[in-house]
Chains A and B, each alone.
Chain A
Amino acid sequence: MPNLRTKSVRIPTLIFEKSQPGRIGVNLPQEDTPKVNINEAIGNTRETFHFPEVSELEVMRHFVNLSHINYGIETGFYPLGSCTMKYNPRINEATASFTGFRNIHPMQPDYTVPGALEVLASVYDILKEVTGFDEIAMQPVAGAHGEMTCLMLIKAYHDSRGEGDKRRIVLVPDSAHGTNPASAARCGYDVKTIPTSPDGDCDMEALAAALDDTVAAFMVTNPSTLALFERNISKICEMVHAVGGQVFCDGANMNAMVGTTRPGDHGFDCMHLNLHKTFSTPHGGGGPGCGAIGLQKHLEPFTPSPALIRVNGKATLDHNRPQSIGRVSSFYGQFLMAVRALTYLLAYGKERMSDISRYSVLNANYVRARLKDVLPPAHDRPCMHECVLTAKKYKQNGVRALDISKRLIDYGFHPPTNYFPLIVPECLMIEPTETESKQTLDEFCDALIKICHEAETNPDILHEAPSTQVVGRLDEAKAVKNLDVRWRPSTITESV
């Protein structure tokens, strides 16, 4: 595929290409220590590694200009489905920067950080109430990490009952996130896929046929990745429990349930939460993530060690956990994420917590209803916090879902998730989150309606999109097969 860089857009140069021999950014003061020849000490790093030789002003302009072509929730609408790219209120950052939180060291003895432990315990208390689980643990540092930790707990539980050897199957729906089978495989299980019925719920007959005493667990995303509430969820949990299996809830879609309904009440044994999605700790830009887990009492002995418990009301780290699966991360997860999540949870408060799920579900249904003629939903029933639409009718014009997404960039929007879930043809998955206004949603829907019209009248404009950006359509296959992100000095010689 040709590289469609447009001439009208200024393409930023690499900082290496700005380099001028001998130019430096900082004048160091007169030395008052013995002179060391740096080239002799560590080699000629500038020559060897071709560090750019640029001034401070050039460095400043270079990175500020790069930051201006960045796109994030703070510059525009970010409807990436299954990712919950909600706005992270600034007050979270204010509390996370309190010196008492920021300047503590993970190696400090527990008795010197009672405030920090109380923050963690407070997050636990609230998350227990929000999810309906008996216990919370917060060592995992990503969603998939929380998922895997839950499966490790399930494995330890079966082992403790002498059933570890016989229970070697983990069931996963065909609509699941790819991390589900990956976590199961990583824990040594064989994965069996359960199909989805035509109405979007779990295929109950297929599930019943797959259930026997070799099943260790069923991993269910609720609402499912089709953005539908699994209407048989309690029945599913009963059926799995009847053969001695455990049920894990993939909490990726918790935003649809916060304050309205609780997975712990549905019959689940454990779940993971993405604090970096649902509870507004940073997400874009790499987080860091926080994959807290919720679990019922019977899994509690196996939680990662140390566990945070309350003794006479006082938050304490318990290192004496003989049945624990051990540590799953160093220290105690991402502590400052707990501060941000607590700020967010307290800012909403118990009374308004359901606003999160109510407005996110309302926004997604608004988008679904406005787009239904141009991009019909994969299932014709109310959606949860995101909507799953299909662009298959434009295939006859040679337009694919990806082309529509690329064209959205020209209209100033971040594309939605494409081609997931895999079982929906030409899939576009749109998650507006609760933090967007009707005006923004209207602008976005207007753009998509225009693009769908273009798909019928001028499909080439979609194939060539994006045409307003620094780079045009990238060759994704080449990017995978011939990954080359290394700058080489020879290119400078050639271009000069």
Chain B
Amino acid sequence: MSVPADLKYTKSHEWVKVEGDTVTIGITDHAQSELGDIVFVDLPTVGRALGASDSFGTVESVKTVSDIYAPVGGEVVAVNETLGAQSELVNSDPYGEGWLVKMKLADAGELDGLLSAEGYEASLND
């Protein structure tokens, strides 16, 4: 199970990539593997303001529908439109082409509350 070292994570299986004051968010390799084939991704509208741990969308697989939570607060500046037609990218490339949303950070301090790659791996073994 891949857990890239340069990303930050949540216990609810989202990953966060920090670039300046913008963060890219997706679901982890573990999450996509547990969900199975993903058939639909419901994403928020650009411009929506989110608080940390707000549910902002859903990922639907052949097994179940799961909420996705904002790891940090901020404003949605982009969503991955490609997933509308190719939701399977979340399975095949969860940390790359399968990203979900980009947000402008409201408070960089919130990043400190996220898990490191090591911390996330440890949480998987709990």
Our verdict on whether A and B bind, yes or no, reads yes
Indicate if the CB atoms of A481 and B87 lie closer than 8 Å: yes
Choose from B40, B64, B87 the contact partner of A419 (Cβ within 8 Å): B64
User: Can you list, as one digit per residue, whether each of A418-444 has a CB less than 8 Å from chain B (1) or not (0)?
Assistant: 110010010000000000000000000
- With both beta carbons as reference points, the residue of chain A lying nearest to B64 in the complex is identified as A422
* A480-B64 in contact (CB<8A): no
Q: Is B97 an interface residue (CB 8 A)?
A: no
Residue among A178, A418, A422, A480 making CB contact with B39, cutoff 8 Å? A480
Which of B34, B36, B39, B87 interacts with A425 by CB under 8 Å? B34
A419 touches B63 (CB 8 A): yes
Residue among B34, B37, B64 making CB contact with A477, cutoff 8 Å: B37
Would you call A477 and B88 a contact (CB within 8 A)? yes
Of B62, B64, B87, which is in contact with the most chain A CB atoms at under 10 Å from its CB? Answer: B62
Q: How far is A425 from B88 in the complex, measured between Cα atoms in Å? A: 22
Q: B87's closest neighbor in chain A, by CB?
A: A481
A476 is an interface residue with CB less than 8 A from chain B: yes
Interface digits, B37-67 against A, CB 8 Å rule (1 contact, 0 not)?
A: 1111000000000000000000000111100
* Highest count of chain B CB atoms <10 Å: which of A402, A418, A425, A481: A481
User: Which residues of the partner chain B approach A425 to less than 8 Å between Cβ atoms?
Assistant: 34
Q: Check A480 against B40 for contact (C-beta < 8 Å).
A: yes
A476 touching B64 in the complex, CB below 8 Å, given contacts A425-B34, A481-B39, A481-B87? no
Q: In the complex the two chains form, is B34's CB within 8 Å of A476's CB?
A: no
In the complex, which residue of chain A has the Cβ closest to the Cβ of B38?
A477
Which B residues, 63 to 101, have Cβ-Cβ distances below 8 Å to chain A? 63-65, 87-88
User: What is the CA–CA distance of A205 and B40 in the complex, to the nearest angstrom?
Assistant: 35
Question: Which residues of chain A come closer than 8 Å to B36, judged between CB atoms?
Answer: 402, 419
| Chain B residues within 8 Å of A178, by CB | 65
User: Which of chain A's residues have a CB closer than 8 A to the CB of B37?
Assistant: 476-477
Interface string of B9-52 (1 = CB under 8 A from A): 00000000000000000000000001011111000000000000
Q: Which of A73-109 contact B (CB under 8 A)?
A: none
The CA of A128 and the CA of B64, in the complex, are separated in Å by 36
Q: How far apart are the CA atoms of A418 and B34 in the complex, in Å?
A: 13
Rounded to whole Å, the gap between the CB of B89 and the closest CB of chain A is 12
Bits for A453-494, please: 1 = Cβ < 8 Å to B, else 0.
000000000000000000000001100110000000000000
Contact residues in B for A476 (Cβ distance below 8 Å):
37, 62
A402 to B39 alpha-carbon distance, docked (Å): 17
Q: How far is the CA of A253 from the CA of B37 in the complex (A)?
A: 30
**How far is A480 from B36 in the complex, measured between Cα atoms in Å?**
13
Q: Which residues of A contact B63 (CB under 8 A)?
A: 418-419
Residue of B whose beta carbon sits closest to that of A395? B33
A422 to B63, CA, bound (A): 9
**Please, how many angstroms separate the alpha-carbon atoms of A360 and B46 in the complex?**
53
Give the CA-CA distance A422 to B61 in the complex, in Å.
12
Q: Which residues of A contact B39 (CB under 8 A)?
A: 477, 480-481
How many Å from the CB of B33 to the closest CB on chain A? 9
B interface footprint on A170-199 (CB within 8 Å = 1, 0 otherwise): 000000001000000000000000000000
Q: How far is the CA of A270 from the CA of B63 in the complex (A)?
A: 30
CB distance from B55 to the nearest CB of A (A): 11
A422 / chain B contacts, CB cutoff of 8 Å: 64
How far is A359 from B64 in the complex, measured between Cα atoms in Å? Answer: 32
Chain A residues within 8 Å of B34, by CB = 425
Q: Which residues of B contact A481 (CB under 8 A)?
A: 39-40, 87
Question: Which residues of chain B are within 8 angstroms of A480 by Cβ–Cβ distance?
Answer: 39-40, 62
CB closest chain-A residue, reference B34: A425
**Complex Cα–Cα for A419 and B63 (A):** 7
**Chain B residues, CB < 8 A from A402:** 36
Residues of A within 8 A of B38 (CB): 477
Q: Look across to chain A and name the residue whose beta carbon is closest to the beta carbon of B60.
A: A480
Within A393-433, the residues touching B (CB, 8 Å) are 402, 418-419, 422, 425
List 15 A-B residue pairs with CB atoms under 8 Å apart, sorted by A's residue number: A178-B65, A402-B36, A419-B63, A419-B64, A422-B64, A476-B37, A476-B62, A477-B37, A477-B38, A477-B39, A477-B62, A477-B88, A480-B62, A481-B39, A481-B40
14 extra interface residue pairs, beta carbon distance < 8 Å, beyond A422-B64, A480-B40: A402-B36, A418-B63, A419-B63, A419-B64, A425-B34, A476-B37, A476-B62, A477-B37, A477-B38, A477-B39, A477-B62, A477-B88, A481-B39, A481-B40
Interface residues of B (CB under 8 A from A): 34, 36-40, 62-65, 87-88
